[in-house]
Structure 1
Amino acid sequence: MSETLLSFPQALATSSDSSAGLKQVRKRDGRLARFDLARIGTAITKAVTAELGAAAAHELPAHVAQSITDYTERVARWCDLQEQLAVESIQDEVERVLMTAGEHRVARRYVLYRESQAHKRKASATQVRLASGELTALPINALEHWIAQACELHGQAPQAAAITADIVRSLPTEVTPTQLFDATILALRSRVELEPVFTYVAAKLLLDRSDSQLLQNHHGAAILTPLSPSERRAGYQRYFPEYVRAAVARGQLHESMLDYNLEAIAAFIVPERDSLLAYLGVQTLYDRYFLAHEGLRVELPQIFWMRIAMGLALGEQNKLERVKEFYDLLSQLHFTSATPTLFNAGTCHPQLSSCYLSTVEDDLVGIFKAIQDNAILSKWAGGLGNDWTNIRALGATIRGTGGKSQGIVPFLKVVSDAAVAVNQGGKRKGAVCAYLETWHLDIEEFLELRRTTGDERRRTHDLHTANWIPDLFMKRVLARDTWTLFSPNEVPDLHHTYGRAFEQKYLDYEQAADEGRIKLFRRVSAVDLWRKMLTLLFETGHPWVTWKDPSNIRSPQDHVGVVHNSNLCTEILLNNSAEETAVCNLGSVNLGAHITDGVLDLAMLERTIRTAVRMLDNVIDLNFYPTPEAANANLRHRPIGLGLMGFQDALYAMQISYASDRAVQFADESMEAISYFALLASSELARERGKYASFAGSKWDRGYLPIDTIDLVEQERGIKIDVPRTAQLNWEVVRRAIREQGLRNSNVLAIAPTATISNIAGVSQSIEPTYRNLYVKSNLSGEFTQVNEWLVEELKGLGLWSEEMLDQLKYYDGELAPIAEIPAEVKERYRTAFEIEPRWLIECAARRQKWIDMGQSLNLYLAAPSGRKLDEMYFLAWKLGLKTTYYLRTLAATQVEKSTIDVNRFGIQPRWMKNKSASGDIQIDRTLASAPEVCNLGGDCEACQ
């Protein structure tokens, strides 16, 4: 056929003048209209043109125009045979004709055209009710433009039309601006699992709404007109000084915040750094951290970071210089202060410390003072650790009345209830961990406090518990020997000694019991008690396993007291007494942000740590102390706890599997570098500001660094600790600095869980392996689909990422092992927490412990726990010299929702699908899920971060 071009009107003129043209068509609204065959031709022509990509719709090749005429005539003949015609049925027939003719791609274009038209009709039918009560048409074009702008920043602009269509389809006929915004965010979040970058698009839109409320003083539909970068910068310049002055006037910020040149500080703000935040991070900040007034958040991310920086620089000489330094570190997410600092910096109650450790005295005044102190400290967002070993056991004689003691359990019930009643200022649940030494006569009841069966009056479901275990007990378990339980009022010095001195005193008391000089005691099998500890740990998640002797023997502050317990998250190890409530001040380096071209950037890490240590030291002087005992301890010893997060991200960036010798070596080398720079930074501060008050006589003063103290534990224990003492850096530099200048801080290093601040930074928690490559995270801000962005990018590079691959990930609960298409090397690097043998986590932790003066919040994972595996795991941790462990995690009964996939496609069952009942319902094997998936802090284990 000739390629002579015909105009579109000529093509339609060739169609037959069917009698269908005399018919009437019922419209969607019920009206009748004359049947117009040309409209069908127009629709088919548009579909063909869209597929061909023709430059002009009115010029088509002759054979194409003839085909359009033919398809139009077929539809006309069908219409001629119908008694009644409706718009939808005619459109259905157009689709059928195109499909019958083999025009599948044209038919697809026609379907999209129908959807587009339906979308426009829906949009025109939807109205927005503004705050004034006025109804206005849904601004569909503005909505799509707003979404397109956010998508364009992340290379997803072509998706804007489809996202807009999804939003419009989900809307009722009348919406509020808030409902429109929520529908927009939902449409974006539904795409995150296939394309993780949409989490940043959603974050951008959430910030646009806040911008409109604060920087433009607009509400509601103003979110559809986002600010340009220059307008945002100008908006910050205007709003920031107003915000500070207004917050001071309301009593939210301290009046000293007005001492700054606010206009100069506003110029330091870099609005573009908002793009570093994912949706979960922005939502977390919005829900839990931003200051609010009359229900409206009055902070934006960069204002928030600047408020923290200002709050931590109040005591500095060069305030402006330090504010910029602190702000740059925080806003680039290289380091993040702990949650209490983020909550309270710059406010009228700057309680910036994270953890408080107290010991409870054995009298009613001491007991109820401890409970009162817990309430006061918890109110200001502190995480609490209480030592209860001093309290006499059940059945012990009460000196004052001659009666018999009820032991520790009734008091712990009160502690538990008080923690619930005082919910950290309404921002998160209060939380306390009670510690008890293993020789205490009430230890067996203590182990059962979290059980869901038994006498409820002797259960504490909201109290965390931890065993404070002496090395002698572990030796007795190894020897399958007996263990003697005592009441502390009859063995008062056991609690205040450790190592060989403890062993000698314990043996003396056992002899005294044999000779009848001690009446209240009980002998048990050490193996049976150990087995009960592990059984209850598996069943209830508590008590946690922590060790008294390495915590004390390696303590740099052994000259001023005994470490009686740890904190809520088991990483802080500081001495306490009736006069001193130990305090620690936390923050974490984002290790993943310090990998450059696959290598740890030591220069960047040094800069980060020098600033971070200064910020943490400032906390001590600026802090609001809820109790005098806390002030006494913190100002005298000045401990800080610099930790890390994003360890797994660093491994991904370096293409290292967590389950490998390379990961163990990197754990060693990275922690060595952090320790090296942190100790140097503290020594530099000592030169500038002076040594901490109790420096004289400390291990630091005696020439001991953390790596030197492994040998001390080995000597006291009498058992080899198989951890290499090798080093990569020149530690003589550090030793010389401490000899000449001392240290500003008694303790410098501790690795906290970082659950919430990791969400903000968008990196893996603390030293944790990836939980799952795809899962739903639940916390106080809601539920968030989490997909491993590193994995998605790698699979994209291999051409393997698709909806099919996503379905397989869902089916296999985020594990790669059963997916045949994925290369073995990739599977190895993306093993998840339950696929990694616990020994790798313990080996990495042991290498870090070489360099840390306090401890680590070390979670351990078991896919299929058994008594043997638990025993081996915890004994390995003890033998390698670890001080503490944290949660034991086993597989949960709940998994990724699979209702959207065909579970029959993949051939085998995931391990959690034990079998199916006769009705076809899945039966969950709950033996794999006895321990809780998360703690009772609303999905946030990070009570002190």
Structure 2
Amino acid sequence: MRYLELNSALLHKKNGFFQLEKDLEAAQAFEEEVLLRLRRFSDPLERFQALIQEGYYEDFFARYEAADLLRLYRLAESYPFRFQSFMAVSKFYKDYALKSDDKKLYLERYFERVLAVALHLGQGDVQKAEAYVRAMMEQRYQPATPTFLNAGRARRGELVSCFLLELDDSLNSIGYNLNAAMQLSKIGGGVALNLSKLRARGEPIKGVAHAAKGVVPVAKLLEDAFNYADQMGQRKGAGAVYLNIFHWDVEEFLDTKKINADEKSRLQTLSLGLLVPQKFFDLAEAGEDFYVFAPYSVYRAFGEHLDDMDLDRMYEALVAHPEVKKRPLSARQMLTRIAQTQFESGYPYIVYRSNANRQHPLKALGQIKMSNLCTEIFQLQTPTLVGDAGEVVEAGFDISCNLGSLNIVNVMEQQNLAESVHTAMDALTAVSDASAVRQVPGVWRANQAFHSVGLGVMNLHGFLAKNQIRYESEEARDFVRSFFAAMNYYSLERSMEIARERGQTFHGFEQSEYASGRYFEKYQEDFRPRTETVRKLFEGIPLPSPADWARLKEAVEQHGLYHAYRLAVAPTASISYIQNATPSIQPIVEHVETRTYGNATTYYPMPFLSEETYWFYKSAYHMNMYRVIDLVAEAQQHVDQGISTVLFVTSETSTRELARLYVYAAKKGLKSLYYTRTKNLSVEECLTCAV
């Protein structure tokens, strides 16, 4: 195929640099092929009518006047949009564009997919639909894949596709959550489950000693369930399980990711995460042992589950209690063991539970106990009470992830930060309002109560490189500090306005630190830029002053907030390609990324790559990970949920050094670490880095 040849030709350097024009030629060649397979219509209204009648689109005429549909169509079409890479155009048409049932014809171009999404989210409000069209066509805001893919389609999946469930210590709960995970996987959801309440291997059941089989067999059941409920073979089911590091079975849990693990216990496709309170790091720093506890013995002794306890406060009492079954392990050796497991498999994820709860504005309402598959969601959670017949006796609060991202480059260059955040919050609110997910009552109940959303960003490294700022520099941290403070401000402002407009706040607002005003205390500090370089970047863009924050505090106390949770920085992938963006706030790995899909290899040059920006695109594998953590920490102080953070290490990194990074991230206030990516360095790469 000609476009694949052109795409690969970009690697054939001319005058010592990539032939980037070949990639744009590949994109154009692909679009030419698309046009040959594009279904034609006589006019936009005839197109709407045909696609609605044939069952491809929802009935937009039921909510909008024909004249408004035509005007919005012309608006979307008027943008001189061009895909900026072959990866972007091929990804869009292969994965997102609406196709005929036989897959032979394309029924949408980019602006038509944007329009369908905007019309669906607008729910008949022409003004809002227009704002969504503008934000998406200008590529300031990008909904997450479930929303961008499904909105506006008559036969669609859910607009959210990531869920968090908590198991109670009973067979009823295990069975219920196993079925819930399969139901959510069936509709395209990735599901994370907290196993920390389950009794350990060898604990008694109904007084019978050694009857419990522990957490690993339940994890194996879940892995099989996700492999079975795989969206009709189109997409593999995705699941993750979390366990508290003080749980008796933690060693066995980690062993499931060993390359040489027994096949009966090895977890090949299920992701693993550890929930780590600060007490563990304190013991490791002091060189002391830490105790793991049999959770059912804790429950019998204290009437409270181990995983529901504040272990920073209760640890010594658990150690001292004679009826609590426990055994000591070396805390430092456990850190090394975690690092070794990450070198082998990339797992486990690490959730800094004490940091998450310390920074939690809703701590009076409940605890943050776990995270999701990508470790950026942090919301309070309670388990669902299940009866003997598998019926829901009392729905708990389970979590769904409702995500979207700002493209930092376009928001900054169009000097449109406040409006972009407001529009994004409206779009995410529309998704929350429209999401029922009644397969799991706890998900529905929490969504109705909290209206939680997760606005994130992408293209940070792209923005820094384009402006010739080094990712590890003080200027980069200064930009992140100011940008995220402003993003937080405008998201709070819009949430307050929605609460005022609707006369409704999230459940329990009165008990939150937003209502008491405590949340706003840190914003007595001025988070506007400290360096001259960053001040120039924000010229023409209003940034909130401490006085603005004080006024917002008063408005929030008076009117409340509609959303219990607002911000979360997810690891954007496919949508980053379409936006010509670097993923999330993470550093890039290669100047030209290589991706293989089936038998075809695609090359993706970084956005704005040139001979001038090349040197500002330092690979993450050659970066100082302490400085990367510093940058994430600057953003985290303004993000009410979390930031998906990947560590990049090489063959020269020791397990001891990786363990130090875990401790450093905890001290810097991060709430989680996602994967650890490992790369074997060659001599040539080391020399290139040194130049």
- Tell me, yes or no, whether TM beats 0.5: yes
SS of aligned partner of 2:509: coil
Alignment of 1:594-605 (within 5 A): 594-596=411-413, 603-605=415-417
Of 869, 872, 890, which aligns to 2:657?
869
2:188 to 364, 372, 381: 381
Deviations 1:100-155 (A, max 9, x none): xxxxxxxxxxxxxxxxxxxxxxxxxxxxxxxxxxxxxxxxxxxxxxxxxxxxxxxx
Pick from 567, 574, 596: which aligns with 2:379?
574
Partner of 1:776: 594
SS of 2:264's equivalent in the other structure is helix
Structure 1 equivalent of residue 563 of structure 2: 745
Deviation, structure 1 residue 422:
2.3
Match of 1:587 among 404, 420, 433: 404
CA contact (8 A) 1:244 1:258 kept: no
1:780-791 matches, within 5 Å, as 782-788=600-606, 790-791=608-609
Deviation at 1:882? 0.9
Which of 250, 259, 264 is residue 452 of structure 1 equivalent to?
Answer: 259
Aligned to 1:458, what secondary structure does the other structure show?
Answer: coil
Q: Decide whether aligned partners of structure 1 residues 709 and 510 sit closer, same or farther in structure 2, where only a CA change above 3 A counts.
A: farther
Show the 5 A alignment for 1:66-145.
Answer: none
1:219-244 deviation per Cα after TM superposition (whole angstroms, max 9, x unaligned): xxxxxxxxxxxxxxxx6xx4543444
- Partner of residue 446, structure 2: 633
Q: Which residue of 2 aligns with 1:344?
A: 150
Matched residue, 2:34: 210
C-alpha deviation, 1:188, in angstroms: 2.2
Matches of 2:241 and 2:39 in 1, distance apart? 47
Q: Unaligned stretches of 5+ in structure 1?
A: 1-181, 217-234, 712-725, 796-825, 896-907, 914-945
1:150-165 → structure 2 map (5 Å cutoff): none
Q: 1:680 aligns with which of 489, 493, 507?
A: 493
Q: Give the one of 510, 516, 536 matched to 2:319.
A: 510
Q: Does the Cα contact within 8 Å between 2:580 and 2:607 map onto a contact in 1? A: no
Identify which of 627, 639, 653 aligns with 2:466: 653
Structure-1 residue corresponding to 2:335: 530
The CA deviation string for residues 746-780 of structure 1, in whole angstroms up to 9 with x for no partner, is 01111000011101111100011121123412357
Assess if the C-alpha contact under 8 Å between 1:290 and 1:300 holds in 2: yes
Contact 1:672–1:851 (Cα < 8 Å) also in 2: yes
Contact 2:524 2:549 in 1 (8 A): no
Match of 1:438 among 220, 245, 252: 245
Is 1:309 the counterpart of 2:118? The answer is yes
Give the Cα–Cα distance (whole angstroms) in 2 for the partners of residues 350 and 431 of structure 1: 16
The 1:909–1:204 alpha-carbon spacing in structure 2 relative to 1, beyond 3 Å, is closer
In the other structure, the counterpart of 2:540 is none
Cα distance, 1:451–1:308 mapped onto 2, change above 3 Å: same
Of 151, 166, 170, the match for 1:359: 166
Q: How much has 1:427 moved relative to structure 2?
A: 4.6
- Report SS of the residue matched to 1:524: strand
- Residues in 2 aligned to 1:426 and 1:324: alpha-carbon distance in whole angstroms: 37
AA paired with 2:312?
Answer: E
Q: Give 3-state SS (helix, strand or coil) of 2:351's partner.
A: strand
In 2: Cα distance, 1:356 partner to 1:706 partner: 30
Given the alignment, which residue of 421, 424, 433 partners 1:609? 421
Q: Deviation digits for residues 897-922 of structure 1, max 9, x if unmatched?
A: xxxxxxxxxxx744599xxxxxxxxx
Matched, 1:544 2:349: yes
Query: Quick one: distance in 2 between partners of 1:707 and 1:495?
Result: 33
CA contact (8 A) 1:350 1:624 kept: no
Q: Does 1:698 align with 2:518?
A: no
What is the distance in 2 between the residues matched to 1:865 and 1:346? 48
Taking structure 1 as reference, are residues 446 and 541 closer, same or farther at Cα in structure 2, changes over 3 Å only?
same
Deviation, 1:623, is 1.6
The 1:375/1:912 distance shift into structure 2, 3 A limit, reads: farther
What does residue 562 of structure 1 align with? 367
Contact 1:751–1:857, Cα closer than 8 Å, also in 2:
yes
Cα distance 1:430–1:781, how it changes in 2: closer, same or farther (>3 A)?
farther
Name the CA distance, whole Å, in 1 between partners of 2:187 and 2:30: 29
**Quick one: which amino acid aligns to residue 512 of structure 2?**
S
Give the superposition deviation at 1:643: 0.3
Q: Name the aligned partner's letter for residue 282 of structure 2.
A: K
In 2, the alpha carbon distance for the partners of 1:765 and 1:584 equals 18
- 8 Å CA contact retained: 2:374, 2:674: yes
* TM-score of the superposed pair, with normalisation by structure 1: 0.64
State the distance in 2 between where 1:768 and 1:751 align.
10
For 2:494, give the aligned amino acid.
A
The more displaced of 190-199 and 359-368 is 190-199
Q: Give the aligned residue type for 1:612.
A: A
Displacement of 1:485: 1.1
Q: 1:259 aligns with which of 56, 63, 70?
A: 63
**2:584 is aligned with 1:766:** yes
Deviation of 1:424 after TM superposition, in Å, equals: 4.2
Whole-angstrom distance in 1 between the partners of 2:230 and 2:521: 39
The answer to whether the Cα contact below 8 Å between 1:701 and 1:739 also exists between their aligned partners in 2 is yes
Higher Cα Rg: structure 1 or 2? 1
Distance in 1, matches of 2:149 and 2:298, equals: 43
Contact 1:203 1:279 in 2 (8 A): yes
The 1:542–1:706 alpha-carbon spacing in structure 2 relative to 1, beyond 3 Å, is farther
1:755–1:257 distance in 2 versus 1, CA, 3 Å: farther
Same amino acid, percent of matched pairs: 26
Which residue of structure 1 lines up, in the alignment, with residue 175 of structure 2? 368
**Aligned counterpart, 1:830:** 617
Say whether the 8 Å CA contact 1:556–1:747 is kept in structure 2: no
Distance 1:257 1:442, change over 3 A: farther
Residues 1:298 and 2:107 are matched in the alignment = yes
TM-score with structure 2 setting the length: 0.87
Residues 788-835 of structure 1: CA distance to partner in whole angstroms, max 9, x if unpaired?
Answer: 45342527xxxxxxxxxxxxxxxxxxxxxxxxxxxxxx74x2321111
Q: Residues 203 and 774 (structure 1 numbering): CA distance in 2 closer, same or farther, change over 3 Å?
A: closer
Q: 1:848 aligns with which of 632, 635, 641?
A: 635
Rate the CA distance shift 1:304–1:495 in 2: closer, same or farther, 3 A.
Answer: farther
Deviation of the 1:351 alpha carbon: 1.4
1:476 aligns to what SS in structure 2? helix
**CA distance in 1 between partners of 2:328 and 2:158 (Å):** 46
One-letter code aligned to 1:199: D
Q: Distance in 1 between matches of 2:482 and 2:469?
A: 14
CA distance in 2, matches of 1:710, 1:881: 20
Matches of 1:889 and 1:402 in 2, distance apart? 42
Describe the SS at the equivalent of 2:618: coil
| Residue in structure 1 matched with residue 539 of structure 2 by the alignment | none
User: Corresponding residue for 1:199?
Assistant: 23
Q: Contact 2:348 / 2:675 at 8 angstroms: preserved in 1?
A: no
Partners of 1:675 and 1:749 within 8 A in 2: yes
Is the aligned partner of 1:483 residue 2:290? yes
SS of the residue corresponding to residue 841 of structure 1 reads: helix
Shift of 1:892: 5.0
Equivalent in the alignment of 1:928: none
Alpha-carbon separation, structure 1, partners of 2:189 and 2:451: 17
Q: Is the 8 A contact 1:706 1:851 kept in 2?
A: no
Partner in structure 1 of residue 52 of structure 2: 248
**Measured at CA, do residues 643 and 840 of structure 1 come closer, stay the same or move farther in structure 2, by a change above 3 Å?**
same
- Structure 1 CA distance, aligned partners of 2:567 and 2:224? 32
Alpha carbons of 1:339 and 1:550: their partners in 2 closer, same or farther (altered >3 Å)? same
Cα separation, partners in 2 of 1:466 and 1:192, compared to 1, 3 Å:
same
Determine the C-alpha separation between the residues in 2 that align with 1:332 and 1:727.
24
- Are the aligned partners of 2:238 and 2:270 in contact in 1 as well (CA < 8 Å)? yes
- Aligned twin of 2:674: 886
After superposition, what is the alpha-carbon deviation per residue over 1:287-327, rounded to whole angstroms, capped at 9, x for unaligned? Answer: 2122222113322111111111111111x5xx222212111
SS at match of 2:221: helix
Partner residue of 1:405 out of 206, 212, 218: 212
CA distance in 1, matches of 2:608, 2:152: 37
- How far apart are residue 708 of structure 1 and its match? 4.2
Match of 2:243, SS? strand
